[in-house]
Amino acid sequence: MKSDLDRLMAERAIDALLILPGENEDPYRVYLSNGVQHSGLVLKRRSEPPVLIVNSMERDEAARSGLAVYTYDNFGYSELARTYQDNRDTITVTWYSRIFEEFGVAGKVGLYGVSDLNAALSTVRILEKALSDRLHFVTEEPRDTIFDRAYETKDPAEVTRLREVARRTSAVVRATRDWLATHRAAGDTVITAEGTPLRIGDVKRHVRGLLFAEGLVDSEGMIFAQGRDAAVPHSKGADSEPLRLGTTIVFDLFPREPGGYFHDMTRTWCLGYAPPEVQAVYETVMDAFRRAQAMCAPGVSTSAVQRMVCELFEAAGHPTVLHSPATTDGYTHSLAHGVGLNVHEAPYFPTFSNRYTLQPGNVFTIEPGLYYAERGYGVRIEDTVYLNEADELETLTDVPYDLVIKLEQ
Amino acid sequence: MKSDLDRLMAERAIDALLILPGENEDPYRVYLSNGVQHSGLVLKRRSEPPVLIVNSMERDEAARSGLAVYTYDNFGYSELARTYQDNRDTITVTWYSRIFEEFGVAGKVGLYGVSDLNAALSTVRILEKALSDRLHFVTEEPRDTIFDRAYETKDPAEVTRLREVARRTSAVVRATRDWLATHRAAGDTVITAEGTPLRIGDVKRHVRGLLFAEGLVDSEGMIFAQGRDAAVPHSKGADSEPLRLGTTIVFDLFPREPGGYFHDMTRTWCLGYAPPEVQAVYETVMDAFRRAQAMCAPGVSTSAVQRMVCELFEAAGHPTVLHSPATTDGYTHSLAHGVGLNVHEAPYFPTFSNRYTLQPGNVFTIEPGLYYAERGYGVRIEDTVYLNEADELETLTDVPYDLVIKLEQ
């Protein structure tokens, strides 16, 4: 959690964390800025709270963080731009030097954030050349950075937000299920009140309305994929396609509060009835889901849980990434990931390494699945769970698991 | 426009453009992928169409681009991960080498995209060290990159999208204006049908409903700021604040189609009546707006338009960034910016340099403003315009400019 940052910086001998200014959404910046979105620079020295340096137009927004806020012009940015015009190197070096001087930044500086890569790399090269006697920029092993390790556990305020977005997302999925059940079937087609076929685009529109009413944002695009598409885990589904009875639908929804925390969950549904083969695969997936839940406890390696699921699936005759790393049939992905300000964050559950050990404060998905594109089906079940301070695994998602949604003919 | 990329690459002797894999939203990736969102690698060699290399889970989505699509496992990613486990350097070098070999990538490679900076910088350092005999990564001057120069003009398909989002955004703002006018005043307060004060949060909720109905996304958060807040150009407004009569409201809305093109516009309103000082400042801003519109023609330097507006304001007694670069009173920002897949992109209108010359195909804002926080008001007027192929300036925004919205007492 965020309060671990100073300990992590000390352990790794990193003197300061730096996030460069930039306009794009940046979960690192939001995290260090106590939830506030702005486009400024963030600097955190070890054992000191972060400071924000923003365009003066954003000074009011930035102040909501409760942190010390400075403007670009407190370090003379506009005057430098006027004086040196197109001499970007001089402007950059002078401006950053003033900031580093003011806050005593020197030594190992970690660079983070989600940035325009060309602009960031260009700034880094200018500063590395000019300030090499003062500081050097360090990178960390991806998936083992200071931020990964902080994101890995959530503090009580974060858990409150995650519970709330879980509650709202679950309400949307339950309402979607109930709404689908109000439709009737004509043969293998699902029919609206107007007598026309219900299409995936209609369902997505309905879901977006429900999300909107709950104040949630679906910025990355939900998955509502049927049949063969359901077997390609990130295929989002074809809007024009009519819903069919007896076909798997994978509904993966991962919305968030605007600029805030995500929830992530998946249900697999069959309208009307489930073919026996699909029913059997669904039961295998539910079995993996339950066993993974039962295994998740403090001290357990995340890879061990992933491998347990692979072995369970392989014993049932399904190929998995454990022995067929590039398979696109069977179990084709990893079991889980953390959820927070990023929809995917630490802890990760890789098949082939062992960096993460479960601990109280983890919030993560559990999402086994089995996929057979050529047979026209895919099944995935996903909840987001919280390993709480009492070492218990709490399920934050609250939606029935049932495969079949009955329709009247 | 996108068809300029090959010419720009030739002029700058850049052999390939590379966008690293990453999960965050990335307008560069969307641009090169013909509008499709995915999290894969994009590689464009000079005079060749881009190729996409994606996680196999995203292969269907990526194929919608119409471009050649490969999966990570076409270059053995999962096998490498299994074989080399935690040896990330070897995995990275081997995997990228196979890709560069397959597509004959060598020489000067430009790095672009919006990336996790720690991960990207770490990959770049590994590859630069291992592959220095084959290629080197180049950065370009920010605001003058190949992409900046491509974004600077829009092709007809892009203009169609920009017109459509302009039409919908304008409808939302007109509907907001009409809805505000249905309220009545009690003294200096605006009253809802229920007899309670109308608050900024109520207005934003109403606007979000209108945006939703138009299929638009307000991912960055609108500005609806009143009084002193209206004088801090990016202050978003306080939800709990009741609307007051005779006070400036700056309403700046910049939504987009999901994952697509933005529109950007601002109106300043006074409910009930406008105080004479505000009315006079509004007329000065409208004058600057009209004169800037009249000046925008092919061949004109964008800085010349910005300076003309500064001089006009200074002649009327207002401080501006021309002679007071760090001023927070008067005219405190630049006149305009391009609009596309980024809410702010080229052409820019800086005060102190001269990199951009207007040309047919530009789509940009015009947004003069005057701000006086201590006097409790700010005024900005903004349209998005299109300099078309007939050298005419077309206004894409379609909303009345009137300052005062009359209310019944």
Whether A354 has a pLDDT exceeding 90, the answer reads no
Whether A233 has a pLDDT exceeding 90, the answer reads no
By CA distance, what is A325's nearest residue in B? B78
Using CA atoms, how far residue B336 sits from A133, B99, B356, in Å, is 39, 41, 12
DSSP one-letter code for B331: B
Helix, strand, coil percent values for chain B (each to nearest 5):
35, 25, 40
Which chain A residues contact residue B145 at CB under 8 A?
118
Domain(s) labelled CATH 3.40.350.10 in chain B stretch across: 2-149
Which A-chain residues 105-144 have CB contacts (< 8 A) with chain B? 110-122, 124-125, 137, 139-142
DSSP one-letter code for B184: E
Decide: B143 and B355 in contact? Cβ < 8 Å: yes
DSSP one-letter code for A57: G
Q: Does A373 touch chain B (CB under 8 A)?
A: no
Angle at A266 (CA atoms; ends A31, A381), nearest 5 degrees? 120
Looking at chain A, the whole-number percentage of residues with pLDDT higher than 70 is 100
The encoded tokens of residue B11 equal: 């002029």
What's the pLDDT band for A244 if we cut at 50, 70, 90? very high
Q: At what angle do helices B88-102 and B77-84 cross, to 10 degrees?
A: 150
CA distance A324 to chain B (A): 8
Mean per-residue pLDDT over chain A, rounded? 95
Which chain A residues contact residue B329 at CB under 8 A?
none
Hey, which of A93-107, A347-361, B226-240, B341-355 has the most confident mean pLDDT? A93-107
Q: What is the pLDDT along chain B (409 residues), one digit of tens a residue?
A: 999 999 999 999 999 999 999 988 899 999 999 999 999 999 999 999 999 999 998 998 999 999 999 999 999 999 999 899 879 999 999 999 999 999 999 999 999 999 999 999 999 999 999 999 999 999 999 899 999 999 999 999 999 999 999 999 999 999 999 999 999 999 999 999 899 999 999 999 999 999 999 999 987 689 999 999 999 877 888 899 999 999 999 999 999 998 899 999 999 999 999 999 999 999 999 999 999 999 999 999 999 999 999 999 999 999 999 999 889 999 999 999 999 999 999 999 999 877 899 999 999 999 999 999 999 999 999 999 999 999 999 999 999 999 999 998 8
Q: Does A239 touch chain B (CB under 8 A)?
A: no
Measured CA to CA, the distance from residue B78 to residue B162 in angstroms comes to: 41
Q: At a CB cut-off of 8 Å and minimum separation 6, what does B129 contact?
A: none
pLDDT for A353 equals 79
Whether A234 has a pLDDT exceeding 80, the answer reads no
What is the residue type of B400? P
Ramachandran assignment for B24, one of left (phi > 0), alpha (psi -120 to 50 degrees), beta (any other)? beta
Can you spell out the DSSP letters for A208-267?
HHHHHHTT-B-TT--EEEEGGGGGSTT----TTPBPBTT-EEEEEE--BSTTS-B--EEE
Using CA atoms, how far residue B291 sits from A399, B266, B288, B307, B308, in Å, is 59, 17, 5, 12, 9
Chain centre distance of CA B303? 19
* CATH top class, domain A152-405: alpha beta
Domain(s) labelled CATH 3.90.230.10 in chain A stretch across: 152-405
pLDDT for B374 equals 94
Number of helices followed by number of strands (H, E) in chain B:
11, 20
Render pLDDT for A260-319 as a digit per residue (tens, 0 to 9).
999 999 999 999 999 999 999 999 999 999 999 999 999 999 999 999 999 999 999 999
What is the residue type of A176? T
The helix/strand/coil state of A320 is strand
pLDDT for A9 equals 98
Measure CB to CB from residue A117 to each of B76, B85, B111 and give the nearest one: B111
**A3-28 residues labelled b (16+ CB within 10 A) or e (exposed):** ebbbebbeeeebbbbbbbbbebbbbb
Question: Which backbone phi and psi does B122 adopt, to 5 degrees?
Answer: -65, -45
Measured CA to CA, the distance from residue A218 to residue A263 in angstroms comes to: 10
Which chain B residues contact residue A111 at CB under 8 A?
117-118, 121
What is the number of CB-based contacts under 8 A between chain A and chain B? 178
By CA distance, what is A24's nearest residue in B? B114
Using CA atoms, how far residue B266 sits from B254, B276, B378, in Å, is 9, 21, 12
DSSP one-letter code for B198: P
Angle at A391 (CA atoms; ends A331, A358), nearest 5 degrees? 40
Can you spell out the DSSP letters for B16-66?
EEEE---SS--HHHHHHTTT----SEEEEETTS--EEEE-GGGHHHHHTTS
Decide: A378 and A224 in contact? Cβ < 8 Å: no
* CATH top class, domain A2-149: alpha beta
Q: Does B85 touch chain A (CB under 8 A)?
A: yes
Question: Which backbone phi and psi does B108 adopt, to 5 degrees?
Answer: -90, 115
pLDDT for A235 equals 79
Chain centre distance of CA A99? 33
CA distance A373 to chain B (A): 11
Measured CA to CA, the distance from residue A406 to residue A273 in angstroms comes to: 7
Whether A57 has a pLDDT exceeding 90, the answer reads no
What's the pLDDT band for A154 if we cut at 50, 70, 90? very high
A178 burial type by CB count under 10 A (0-12 exposed, 13-18 middle, 19+ buried): exposed
What is the residue type of B6? D
ipTM confidence score = 0.93
What's the pLDDT band for A118 if we cut at 50, 70, 90? very high
Whether A13 has a pLDDT exceeding 90, the answer reads yes
Measure CB to CB from residue A114 to each of B78, B114, B232 and give the nearest one: B114
Q: At a CB cut-off of 8 Å and minimum separation 6, what does A20 contact?
A: A41, A111, A113, A115, A119, A120, A123, B117
Paired strand residues for A107: A135
The encoded tokens of residue B26 equal: 């990335």
pLDDT for B232 equals 85
